[in-house]
Structure 1
Amino acid sequence: MRKHLSVQVFFLLLAVTAHAQILTPATWTVKPAKSSVKVGETVDILFSVRINPGW
C-alpha cells in the first residue's frame, strides 16, 4: 500500500513539473474588421499571430 502511494505521489509531482515546460512561441490576437457593429450585421473577424524569432 505504501509503495502504491509513493508511485502516485511521484507521478503527481511529475505532472506538476511537466506543466511548467509549456512554451508559448506564438501570440494570437483577434479583432473585428470594423470598429462599430450594428445588431444583426455580419462582421469579418481578423486573426493575427506574432511568432517569436527562431520558431
Structure 2
Amino acid sequence: MTQHQKNLKNIVGTFAIEGMTISKATRSNLDRIGSGQASWQEVVDGLCLKYARK
C-alpha cells in the first residue's frame, strides 16, 4: 500500500468515526491528488466549472 493510499484510508476512517461519509467522487478526487494524477488546483478548478454551470 502506497503512502497516498494509507492517507486516503485514514481520511475515510476519520470521517467514519465522526459519522460522515465521503462520496465516491470526493474519494476519487483525493486519490487523483494523492497519486499525482492531478493537482489540488486542477481538482478545485474542475469543481468550480462543474458547479458554475448548474
TM-score category (smaller protein): 0.3 to 0.5
The structure with the greater share of residues assigned to helix is: 2
The structure with more radius of gyration: 1
**Taking structure 2 as the reference length, what is the TM-score of the superposition?**
0.33
More strand by share: 1
TM-score (normalizing by structure 1): 0.33
